[in-house]
Homo-oligomer: A and B are copies of this chain.
Amino acid sequence: MENDRNGPFQPARRGFLKAGGAAAVAATALGKAAAAQALPVVANDDPYRAVEPFFGPHQGGIVTPQQSHTYVVALDLTTDKRDDVIGLLRAWTDAASRLTRGEPAASIDGPDDRPAGDSGEALGLGAARLTITFGFGPGLFALEGKDRYGLANRRPAALVDLPRFNGDQLVPEKTGGDLFIQACANDAQVAFHAVRQLARIGSGIAHIRWGQAGFLSGPRDETPRNLMGFKDGTNNPSIKDTQVMDEFVWAGSEGPGWMQGGTYTVVRRIRITLEHWDQMERGFQESVFGRQKKSGAPLGKAKEFDALDLEAADKDGNPVIPDNSHVRLSNRATNNGAQILRRSYSYNDGTNFYIERWPPWRQETEYDAGLIFIAHQRDPRTGFIPINERLAKFDMMNQFTTHIGSAIFACPPGARPGSFIGAALFES
């Protein structure tokens, strides 16, 4: 079956519409008894019950159709023992395989005199298409020159330290990390629950450096809109196009064997000054993006997926899509054909309070909201880095955005049952 749910690029929802839908309708028409028999099919297509595979050639959460919520976390390793790291990855793999099936990470029913197991807040919630993606930061290979785990010579060349970009205002406690966990699910509590269990399992070996919840509203039958009100992701490469994924997302034979089938992930916490943005004229906003707000169409075109015409000029000879618009600067044609797979989420952490440092020294409250930018690629040196260098210098959007956090991780390929995530890295 072309669209079966084990296919790496098939959204569960699409599978339902194309394949499961017919079965569900048939089952319903047959009445209650038949419907009960057909329950596994129906359950699989409920976005709160559906299960994404954990084991496989690639990790989940990369080319998986994007779920509505995420919790991402970076941890610092506090152990100096290689075996602790291996043990942690084994335990995480085991727990993640259970969590992604919608099961508790551990029993909550142990005897009363033992510490609590699974914290319980996801009981009854279902798997909600939970995926758990693990990544390795530079500090796993060597920290401040110290080779803690005998891995220094195994660091992939593509796992570069990101350069400082123009305008970066990175906060150390929102930046970096030795290990990365991205939990995505169709329920905020399911995603956070997964990270909480994994963090507790790591207690004494790794501690959380930073964590962040994200959401993505309404990806029902349209490209979802970001908090700036624009459709976001229209030009993303198709996760269904295995050839493009192989060329631009999955690490290949150019790097170490243990990373083949993995990907390099860049995470940026980008605060957006929504109050400021909300005061701008719509026409100006559209110039910043290079797209129309309502339809998402490129300026000068009618429909969202119409091709960009970067050559088009108005009657005065000015480009229809401004030189410093986001869509032009980030476009493939402007970037030597480079593509990255964006899989970002909005975040909304309430408000920040600050006192202005110059007269009239008034107090201000601002939304602490923006974008958890997440991008996967075969090699950041030809992907995120050159694209973002151009954006950081020229993008008109920079007036409204501040990069607060940053991290890069090597996300290894998926694990086979019985093995664990990253096993090949530790084979001598």
| In the complex, chain A residues 343-377 whose Cβ is within 8 Å of any chain B Cβ | 346-351, 353, 363-365, 367-369
Q: Is the CB of A215 within 8 A of B228?
A: no
Say whether A218 contacts B187, CB under 8 Å.
yes
Residues of B within 8 A of A210 (CB): 350-351, 353, 365
From B173, B221, B228, B278, A353 is in contact (CB under 8 Å) with B173
A160 → B minimal CB distance (Å)? 25
Enumerate chain B residues within 8 angstroms of A365, measured Cβ to Cβ.
Answer: 173, 207-211
Are B25 and A229 within 8 A (Cβ)? no
Does any Cβ of B come within 8 Å of A120's Cβ? yes
In the complex, per-residue mask of A259-294: 1 if CB is within 8 Å of any chain B CB, else 0: 000000000000000110111111111100000011
Given contacts A173-B353, A187-B218, A217-B189, contact A283 B120 (CB under 8 A): no
Give the copy number.
Answer: 2
The residue among A119, A274, A285 with the most chain B CB atoms within 10 A of its own CB is A119
Q: Tell me, rounded to whole Å, the shortest Cβ–Cβ distance linking A306 to chain B.
A: 19
Residues of B within 8 A of A278 (CB): 116, 119, 196, 200
**214-246 of chain A: CB within 8 A of chain B:** 215, 217-218, 220-222, 225-230
Tell me, rounded to whole Å, the shortest Cβ–Cβ distance linking A403 to chain B: 16
Q: Provide a sorted-by-A list of 27 A–B residue pairs whose CB atoms are within 8 angstroms.
A: A48-B218, A109-B294, A112-B284, A112-B286, A113-B283, A115-B279, A115-B281, A116-B278, A116-B280, A120-B229, A121-B226, A122-B217, A122-B218, A123-B294, A125-B218, A173-B363, A187-B217, A188-B348, A192-B227, A192-B348, A192-B369, A196-B278, A203-B279, A207-B364, A210-B350, A210-B351, A210-B353
